[in-house]
Each structure stands twice: as C-alpha cells, then as structure tokens.
Amino acid sequence: MQRDHELAPMRVRFAPSPTGALHLGNVRTALFSWLAARATGGQFILRIEDTDQERYVEGGDLTVFETLRWLGLTWDEGPEVGGPHAPYVQSQRKALYQEYGEKLVASGHAYWCTCTPDRLEAMRLEQQRRGQPTRYDRNCLARQEEIQAHRDAGGSAVLRLRMPEGISTWDDVVRGTIEFSNAEIDDSVLLKSDGFPTYHLAVVVDDHLMDITHVIRSEEWIPSTPKHLALYKAFGWDAPAFAHVPIVLGPDKKKLSKRHGAKRLLDYRSDGYLPSALINAMALLGWSPPGDEDVLSVDNIVKHFDIHDVHASPAVFDPQRLDSINAHHIRLLSHEELADILGIWLTRDPASLLPLVPLLQERITTLADAATLLEPVFSTAVQWGTDVAFPPKNVTSEQALTLLDACSTDIAAHGTGDPTGLRTRLTETVTSLGLKPRDAFRVIYCALFGQPTGIPVFDAMAVLGSERTAARLAAARERLVPTSEQV
C-alpha cells in the first residue's frame, strides 16, 4: 500500500536480551522497528534487557551489536553510541526500577510477596484442576506489615503488581482492538528477590522514560500487554501505541527459536548472503511492497514501509526465497562493487577479480558459489570430478581428440586473448565433426575444469593464459589416449 500521508516520527526500540545469537525471527522484529523509525524520520533505540542474571551470557551483547551493524540496522541511541537516556543497559538501571517499584507500593498498586515456589505451583495445579485461570491468590496481600518487618530484617521478597479489576483493551497497530478481562491476568512479579526487575516493570519504566512512541514487538507479548497497560495507568503515564508483529515460523510451523535449530543470523554472512538481501527477504515476511516487484533495495523498502501495513498472520521463512533474492541482489551490483565484495570474501585483490566478475555474476546465488566456480581457474592442477564422463556423452574419443587438438593448435597460433574468435573457429570444427555444440563443448569444459560445467570456458582460457591452457589440454589428451594403452 502506498502511504498517502506522512506519519509523525516514531521513536521505537529494539530490546533484546543478550542471551545468545540473534536469529531471523528476532531480527525481523528489529528490522520492522528500524524501518518504522527510518520511514517516519524518527529514532531507533537499542536497549539491552539483561535483567535475568541466570541467563547471563558473556559477550552476548556484542553479538547483538555485530549482527545489527552487519545488516546496517544502526541505532540512534543505545549501547556504544550513548544518548540522552543512558544507560541503555537494564542491569545498569537497577536502582531506578526499585525506586519506581516503591512508588507503586506507596500508591497501592503493588505489594510484597514471600510465597514459596512450591506453594505457587500447588496453587496453580489446583486452579487448573478446577478449570480456572492460573493467577496468584493474593495470599500475601493481607500480610504486608509482617513482610515489611521481614524485609527490614534483611529478608527477601518479591514485588507483585496488584492487577486492577475490569477490562484491558487497546487498539493494536497491526491487529485492531484486543481485549482482555483483567480477571484472567496474574499479579505478575515486578521485582525479583535478587532485586532485579522483571521484564514487565523494566520495559514500562524504560519505554516511558525513553519517550518510546510505538512499542513494536512480536506477538508473543500480546498476553502480557494488559499488565503493561495496568502499569502505565498506575504510574499515571500515557501508554505508547502497541504493534504486535507476527512471529516468524520455521519449516515445522513453530516459532523460530534456537532449540528448533534456528540459524544464527551471522551465519548467513559466512554463507555468502548480502545484508541487503537478508533485509529484503525479512521485510517480505508480514509486509509487502506496492506493485509486483519484490526485489527491493533497502532504500526502497524504507521509502514504502509503514508499520500499519504489516499484517497479522505468522509467516514461514522460506530459504529458497532468500536464495532467489540474494541472487538478484548480487546481479544488481556493479562489476566494481561485486569485485570489491568478492575480494574480501576470497581474500584476493579486487582488481584481479574484476575481469572474472562478468563471468560469475549471473551464475552465483551466494558469494560462496563464487569460490566454487573459481576453484578450477585458480587451482594449479585440474581436479577431475570422480563421476565425470570423458569423453562426455554423445562424443567419441576420436572426436574429442580432434577437438582438443584443434583447440591446442588454435591457441598455439592465436593465443588465448580472443575468446570469441577461438570459439568461432572451434565451432567450425564441431560442425565438421557433425556434433552438437552442446555435446562438443563439454569436452573443452572437462579439459579445462575437470567437469562439464563452469564459467564460460574460452573466457577462462584468457584468464589462465596460453601456457596453462595448453598444459590442461595436453593433460586431457592423455586421458583419452593413456600411455598404458599405447604400450
């Protein structure tokens, strides 16, 4: 859909917990947030939600940074870049949450609880048995003075939200009106016994303090949104808009996750995918551009993106679609750009790669394919494939010999600098032999590459030079007329 009006700048955030590598599911949500910010001229904020000490992963935040930066999803405020609301790491804001927790206690919107995990579990089991929703029974609500004494004496407790009665409702940006009966909603823990906040408290406090206008997050957060709404109200704050974007599914139709073997996003980099292709492919999961063209530059996506157009149903990620998009993005590159990228990829001088780029560009779907295609050219000796027929089908040994010799003779006379001329002259030989070009040229491919396919072979000869080409032709001849048979 084409935007028919300019949207007000959105301040959005991506707030991962640094508990491991980001995968396509996480990053697609980050992408939608980033796009919403860029499309409206707003800000994209990165915040690290590391309030769970038990899931601390050394360097987890650095992986997040690297992933986002590789894709070009740069943040305007956040770790390593700073900003007016620093720090952007929740573990460094611990005191803040405690302060706001106390405010809720003072206003009667939260209370302390010392129930044991065992009691809570038994309570939930019983509720389930009775067909009731599982929620805290407020057993501790009447013991606040007692618990306060316990805390004053150095004892621990958790702080719970006192979920108000009534109905929670909001107009979700991607789904329209969603409504919950608060009677179904649990009195969630806000501060854990280790003094750290839970997501629910931290996200509300930070989103408010950081002036977030649109909370763009994945749909698994829908059921806890009433808690967040209750917190905004308890604090007397205006709630931001909520956009619950659909989750990304794996081939098993389950939410993409590490335990389901979701690939780390950075693995796509090492597999030879371009950032722009990943972005293009991810953007198409839940969003579609106007018109029929779906191979788009990042700029073009930014130009057309509107979070309001994201639709609600979950999407299965299709790796083949990514392949196709990646191949298209590679073909969109100039020869120089591709030579530079391949130079880094293959650790070779881009200038030396430049003449090969036109031969590669339409033949590769990932950068890794370039290494495979170039291997026969760069290797010192021809590596014959184990199951390669030589001479190839529909060609006799005599015909193959004639061709190889014609090729050798031509190169001796003209060198390898004129691929077109060489091909033209060799075609005459092919015709005189009564062969189909398709069959006949396989002989040459095999001789040069050790396999019947590859980059255009006469161009490859030009790169290889007369000497090496002649050597390969001679070696192939040996295969047709082995010395042992001549004895």
Partner RNA sequence: GCCCGCAUCGUCUAACGGUUAGGACAUCACCCUUUCAAGGUGGAAACCAGGGUUCGAUUCCCUGUGCGGGUACCA
Closest by Cα among 393, 449, 444 to 422: 444
Within residues 200-229, the interface with RNA by CB under 7 A covers 219-224
Does position 311 bind RNA by CB under 7 A?
Answer: yes
Does position 20 bind RNA by CB under 7 A?
Answer: no
Within residues 68-107, the interface with RNA by CB under 7 A covers none
Binding mask of the shown chain, residues 169 to 198, with x at each position contacting RNA by CB under 7 A: ------xx-xxxx--x-x--x--xxx-xxx
Does position 284 bind RNA by CB under 7 A?
Answer: yes
Does position 450 bind RNA by CB under 7 A?
Answer: no
Which residue, 193 or 481, has its beta carbon nearer to RNA? 193
Which residue, 253 or 483, has its beta carbon nearer to RNA? 253
Which H helix or E strand runs over 30? helix 24-40
Residue 484 CB, shortest distance to RNA, in Å, is: 29
What stretches of 171-210 show up as alpha helix (H) in DSSP?
A: 199-209
Place of tokens 């007016």: 84
Question: CA-CA distance, 32 to 211, in Å (whole number)?
Answer: 18
Query: Please, are residues 141 and 177 in contact by the beta-carbon 8 Å criterion?
Result: no
Place of tokens 């371009």: 274
Does position 143 bind RNA by CB under 7 A?
Answer: no
Does position 9 bind RNA by CB under 7 A?
Answer: no
Marked catalytic residue, from 258, 263, 393, 436: 258
Does position 312 bind RNA by CB under 7 A?
Answer: yes
Which residue, 12 or 285, has its beta carbon nearer to RNA? 285
Q: Is 78 left (phi over 0), alpha (psi -120 to 50) or beta?
A: left
Which of 453, 466, 468, 480: binder of RNA (CB under 7 A)?
453
Q: Is 84 left (phi over 0), alpha (psi -120 to 50) or beta?
A: alpha
Structure tokens of 425?
């002259």
Question: Strands, E, within 150-273: which ranges?
Answer: 158-161, 167-172, 176-181, 189-191, 214-218, 241-245, 248-249
Which of 62, 149, 167, 316: binder of RNA (CB under 7 A)?
316
| 253 counts as catalytic | no
Residue 209 CB, shortest distance to RNA, in Å, is: 16
Which H helix or E strand runs over 44? strand 43-46
Which residue, 101 or 246, has its beta carbon nearer to RNA? 246
Cis peptide leading into residue 18 (ω within 30°): no
Binding mask of the shown chain, residues 243 to 282, with x at each position contacting RNA by CB under 7 A: ---xx-x---xxx---------------------------
Question: CA-CA distance, 481 to 484, in Å (whole number)?
Answer: 8
Does position 428 bind RNA by CB under 7 A?
Answer: no
Which of 44, 46, 49, 231: binder of RNA (CB under 7 A)?
49
Residue 272 CB, shortest distance to RNA, in Å, is: 15
Question: Strands, E, within 281-401: which ranges?
Answer: 315-316
Which residue, 49 or 77, has its beta carbon nearer to RNA? 49
Question: Strands, E, within 328-426: which ranges?
Answer: none
Which residue, 9 or 324, has its beta carbon nearer to RNA? 324
# residues near RNA by CB under 7 A: 89
Q: Is 454 left (phi over 0), alpha (psi -120 to 50) or beta?
A: left
Residue 207 CB, shortest distance to RNA, in Å, is: 12
Question: CA-CA distance, 35 to 462, in Å (whole number)?
Answer: 46
Which residue, 349 or 432, has its beta carbon nearer to RNA? 432
Q: What angle do CA 297, 330, 3 make, to 5 degrees?
A: 15
Binding mask of the shown chain, residues 369 to 398, with x at each position contacting RNA by CB under 7 A: ------------------------------
Does position 286 bind RNA by CB under 7 A?
Answer: yes
Residue 271 CB, shortest distance to RNA, in Å, is: 16
Structure tokens of 357?
């780029």
Residues annotated as part of the active site? 258
